[in-house]
Amino acid sequence: MDNRDIVQKSYQSFLKQYLQKQDEQMLYKGQELSRRAIEQNISPEEIVNYHVSMLKETYPDLPKEVLVSFDFLLEVMISYGFAYREHQSLRHRQLELKTEMEVAANMQTTLLQTDIPSVPEMQIGALSVPARQMNGDYHHFTCDENNCLGVAIADVIGKGMPAALCMSMIKYSMDSLPETRMQPSAVLESLNRVVERNVDPSMFVTMLYGIYDTRVHSFFFSSAGHEPGFFYEAKKDRFAEISTKGVVLGVTRQASFEEYQLDVAPGDMIVLLSDGVTECRAGDEFVEREYIVDLIRKYMHLSPQEIVESVYDELMRLQGFELRDDFTLIILQRDV
């Protein structure tokens, strides 16, 4: 006797005992039996057939109306069974996809991981948080033998797995270009060709890449349509928007990128961010860029790392702890 036969015999036995005694213990056994039926993929309509078969055997003189009612119940259970099995199949696939996404997210975290380097006369703060499991933002630091700091921040216009794969491609393309790392415009031109050839036309990448030269305390950078950051001049105690030009990566193969320079005095700060920072919402309204500046100013007595973490916490509270877009915020500050 196989397991399905055992379930059928058990069902009919428990039902018969319950009809005779109305013992609640049989109801508990029925609940356990339902779990065994699911494990054996026994459909609801089969359970109804077990039920009808036992009743006919036990009560051969059942009214015709009662027997006919079971025909109606059987049809209902057939449709229910189909829907239930489809639901179980979709649930199983959803669990498989969730597991795959978790594995992919962990792999992406490992692949895109970057350490904040120790640079003389400089403090660095960075925080990147994905809105979903996969991060469509990318940031990376390098430091050469001259203690020159390279910093990249990018954002894929898109979300989910495609954006994450694109970010991984950008990362490894960056790693293959060490000889041009001191030329931000050349870096973006090379990456633009990679994106234009390999990324779907509906997906674009914004990016800012810069080099902070500690020998002359200047920040040289180029932008590919990336969200403008801020520059804080300590001497004047004011924030100014970092204004740049440049098309997003992947639009045209022949794109060129202008290079800019910021001279950084003691106490000055360079603020780089993704649009997930400036497009936070308070209710249905986007926050103003000035609000982000006010938050940074509020925590300027802290270290850059503490500033980015405090700004993130404030914006999360503002949004009811629901991050709607990938969040990346970087602060570079020259020591006083």
Q: How far apart are CA 74 and CA 84, in angstroms?
A: 15
How high is the mean pLDDT of the chain? 83
pLDDT tens digits along 28-87: 777 777 778 777 777 888 888 888 888 888 888 888 888 788 778 777 777 777 777 787
Average confidence (pLDDT) over 114-141: 85
pLDDT tens digits along 188-200: 998 998 888 887 7
| Percent of the chain residues topping a pLDDT of 70 | 90
> Among 43-47, 84-88, 228-232, 268-272, which stretch is predicted with the lowest mean pLDDT?
84-88
Per the model's pLDDT, the better-predicted residue between 281 and 1 turns out to be 281
Domains and CATH numbers, the chain: 3-104 (1.10.1240.30), 116-334 (3.60.40.10)
Q: What is the pLDDT of residue 231?
A: 97
Residue whose C-alpha is closest to residue 264's, from 114, 151, 139, 137: 151
Distances (CA, A) of 298 to 18, 301, 310, 330: 71, 8, 9, 16
Confidence check: pLDDT of 180 > 50: no
Confidence check: pLDDT of 105 > 70: no
Confidence check: pLDDT of 308 > 70: yes
> Among 45-49, 85-89, 276-280, 299-303, which stretch is predicted with the lowest mean pLDDT?
85-89
Q: What is the pLDDT of residue 307?
A: 97
Per the model's pLDDT, the better-predicted residue between 319 and 237 turns out to be 237
Q: Supply the Cα-derived Rg of the chain in whole angstroms.
A: 32
**Could you tell me the pLDDT band of residue 147, with boundaries at 50, 70 and 90?**
confident
Highest mean pLDDT among 147-151, 220-224, 276-280: 220-224
Confidence check: pLDDT of 134 > 70: no
Average confidence (pLDDT) over 305-319: 92
**C-beta of residue 255 within 8 angstroms of C-beta of residue 192:** yes
| Phi/psi of residue 169, nearest 5 degrees | -65, -40
Q: What is the pLDDT of residue 100?
A: 66
**C-beta of residue 163 within 8 angstroms of C-beta of residue 203:** yes
Average confidence (pLDDT) over 102-126: 78
Average confidence (pLDDT) over 220-231: 94
Confidence check: pLDDT of 237 > 70: yes
Residue whose C-alpha is closest to residue 212's, from 300, 144, 153, 156: 144
Confidence check: pLDDT of 264 > 70: yes
pLDDT tens digits along 314-325: 998 888 777 777
Residue whose C-alpha is closest to residue 296's, from 232, 221, 219, 210: 232
Q: What is the pLDDT of residue 110?
A: 63
- Which contiguous run of DSSP H or E holds residue 273? strand 269-273
**C-beta of residue 151 within 8 angstroms of C-beta of residue 272:** yes
**pTM greater than 0.75:** no
